[in-house]
Amino acid sequence: MIDISTLTIFSARKKLDSKEFSVVELVKTYLDEINRKNKDINAYLEIYNDVLEQAKMADQAITRGEIFPMTGIPIAVKDNILIEGKTATSGSKILKGFVAPYDATVIKKLKSQHAVFLGRANMDEFAMGSSTENSAFGVTKNPLDPTRVAGGSSGGSVASVAMGGALASLGSDTGGSVREPTSFCGLVGLKPTYGGVSRYGLMALGSSLDVIGPVTKTVTDSEILWDAIKGQDKMDSTTYSEDVYPKNKNSKNKSLTIGVPYHILEKGLRGDVRKNFDESIEKLKKLGYKIKDIKLPNIGYSLAVYYIIMPAEASSNLARFDGVKYGLHIDGNDLLSDYLKTRGMGFGEEVRRRILIGTYVLSTGYYEAYYNKAIHLRQTISNDFQKAFTEVNAIALPTTTGPAFKIGEKASDPLALYLEDVFTVPANIVGVPAISIPSGSVNDGGVDLPLGIQFMAPHNCEELLFEIGKKFLGE
């Protein structure tokens, strides 16, 4: 029996290499666990039929000595990341039955390390949402309390790991979709620097905000998976070359300063959530970090800016789903009614809402009033961060305003769901890396539920986030 409850990528690597167990044995253990739990949790939309075949190949690679950090590591993949020959639907009916014609760059990289892809993880339709309730294929439940959401939009990716159905997974983060669910499920979620990881083969939501990120149990694992997927890619012109990473990685001996924009915590944060955050800050002080109260004067506009830029980009990205090129096709009497019928029936409510908002803010007359203003404010917010990073090394905020909420609790109120993203969207707007790390728990309705603390660093300073995170968790 393999004890997967304590297993990490890091510890599995040693056990696989010393032949304590084989990849096939490891993968079978995960498949058993998935069989037991997935019906209830709905983390996976599909388990691939070649998983054991992949595992055998990984075992052979290990025997040949072709060993990489991710060799034989079983992972789940969000339903918006392409794997050649496999279905990918982005949680949408409009892509039902769509088979990916090529590998996303992150998949190519992981295949070259002989990682094992267990299956396709559920998500909010086209990654729009914070609870995975917007999936066309049913909600994903929180494995820690199945009456609650797992978070979103990468809810399936996160629940697969939290229920013991994968060792790690890939999610995507446009406004918090890796960090919020990991915070709800007690895991580590990284949103890498925009352009740090190739978006080639990731279905686009907001192209200037999207990034693929690792979901893991530990910060050490987050670093391993990030390292495996990062890097410049000729298929994505926004990717950075390796030499942008800070050369001097040895900040370990320096005393670092972490900034806290206390002014945005004053309004509306639950008492117990604030207490948990304050305790985390005390812990950081004890670990030797200096804490500085900083001002990010325009951060309060982040949510408004995000909910203009993201729908604008989404409305244009989703124009390609016209019933001709991909997936679903519903016949009308002519081309226009083909479009209208296919899109009307293929897209869910939230997607249609955002297409409407996006089209509105981009239309003549409103473009100047909304989209252009948002673009200007985005720059202003970025300038605030740049200035703050001249005074502090990293910035800390809670990941969310509260723990996982009940399924259905916010489903009828889109604005309440948008507010979920208040602490996570700034990192996407500015493009800086951010990590969510478990910070303890609060009691909600008689259940202890995890919370997360979020750290942000300047562009390409992921190493600093890993350093702080490891210290914080005592890894």
Give the residue, chosen from 176, 181, 195, 426, that forms a contact with ligand GLN under the rule CB under 6 A.
176
Sequence-ordered list of residues with C-beta below 8 angstroms from that of 331, at least 6 positions apart, any chain: 338, 341
Sequence-ordered strand ranges (E) for 263-393: 290-293
- Select the span of 104-112, 166-174, 263-271, 401-409 touching ligand GLN (CB under 6 A): 166-174
User: Is 318 within 8 Å of 351 (Cβ atoms)?
Assistant: yes
For position 439 contacting ligand GLN by CB under 6 A, the verdict is no
The residue number whose beta carbon is nearest to ligand GLN equals 177
For position 431 contacting ligand GLN by CB under 6 A, the verdict is no
Sequence-ordered list of residues with C-beta below 8 angstroms from that of 376, at least 6 positions apart, any chain: none
- To 10 degrees, the CA torsion angle through 30, 32, 35, 40? -70
Sequence-ordered list of residues with C-beta below 8 angstroms from that of 174, at least 6 positions apart, any chain: 127, 153, 205, 206, 209, 210, 211, 310, 428
- Is 177 catalytic? The answer is yes
Convert residues 228-267 into a mask of x (bound to ligand GLN by CB under 6 A) and - (unbound). Answer: ----------------------------------------
> What's the CA gap between 381 and 456, in Å, rounded?
14
For position 92 contacting ligand GLN by CB under 6 A, the verdict is no
Question: Given the complex with ligand GLN, which of 54 and 454 has the nearer CB atom?
Answer: 454
- To 10 degrees, the CA torsion angle through 167, 170, 174, 180? -10
- Select the span of 171-179, 281-289, 318-326, 382-390 touching ligand GLN (CB under 6 A): 171-179
Provide the minimum distance between the beta carbon of 399 and ligand GLN in the complex, in angstroms, as a whole number: 12
- Is 92 catalytic? The answer is no
Q: Do you find a cis peptide bond into 439, omega within 30 degrees of 0? A: no
For position 177 contacting ligand GLN by CB under 6 A, the verdict is yes
- Select the span of 175-183, 238-246, 250-258, 436-444 touching ligand GLN (CB under 6 A): 175-183
Backbone angles phi, psi at 171, to 5 degrees: -125, -175
Q: Looking at this protein, which amino acid is placed at residue 47?
A: I
Question: Given the complex with ligand GLN, which of 55 and 106 has the nearer CB atom?
Answer: 106
The footprint of ligand GLN on this chain (CB under 6 A) covers a number of residues equal to 14
Provide the minimum distance between the beta carbon of 313 and ligand GLN in the complex, in angstroms, as a whole number: 11
Task: Given the residues 22, 90, 92, 153, select the one marked as catalytic.
Answer: 153
Provide the minimum distance between the beta carbon of 4 and ligand GLN in the complex, in angstroms, as a whole number: 28
Question: Given the complex with ligand GLN, which of 23 and 312 has the nearer CB atom?
Answer: 312
Give the residue, chosen from 91, 129, 155, 450, that forms a contact with ligand GLN under the rule CB under 6 A.
129
Give the residue, chosen from 41, 121, 128, 457, that forms a contact with ligand GLN under the rule CB under 6 A.
128
User: Is 201 within 8 Å of 85 (Cβ atoms)?
Assistant: no
User: Is 76 within 8 Å of 155 (Cβ atoms)?
Assistant: no
Task: Given the residues 37, 78, 86, 108, select the one marked as catalytic.
Answer: 78
Question: What DSSP state is assigned to residue 122?
Answer: P
Question: Given the complex with ligand GLN, which of 173 and 384 has the nearer CB atom?
Answer: 173
- Is 169 catalytic? The answer is no
Provide the minimum distance between the beta carbon of 188 and ligand GLN in the complex, in angstroms, as a whole number: 17
Q: Name the nearest CA neighbour of 172 among 133, 136, 207.
A: 207
Question: Given the complex with ligand GLN, which of 9 and 309 has the nearer CB atom?
Answer: 309
For position 153 contacting ligand GLN by CB under 6 A, the verdict is yes
Q: How far is CA 309 from CA 94, 109, 139, 165, 355, in A?
A: 23, 30, 27, 35, 12
Gyration radius (Cα) of the chain, Å? 21
Task: Given the residues 22, 154, 177, 280, select the one marked as catalytic.
Answer: 177
Residue 234 has which token pair? 């000729």
**According to CB under 6 A, which residues from 294 to 333 bind ligand GLN?**
310
Provide the minimum distance between the beta carbon of 173 and ligand GLN in the complex, in angstroms, as a whole number: 5
Residue 265 has which token pair? 């915590």
- Select the span of 61-69, 167-175, 256-264, 279-287 touching ligand GLN (CB under 6 A): 167-175
Question: Given the complex with ligand GLN, which of 27 and 312 has the nearer CB atom?
Answer: 312
Q: At what angle do helices 9-17 and 219-229 cross, to 10 degrees?
A: 80
- Footprint of ligand GLN (CB under 6 A): 127-130, 153, 172-177, 205, 310, 421
By annotation, the residues acting in catalysis are 78, 153, 177
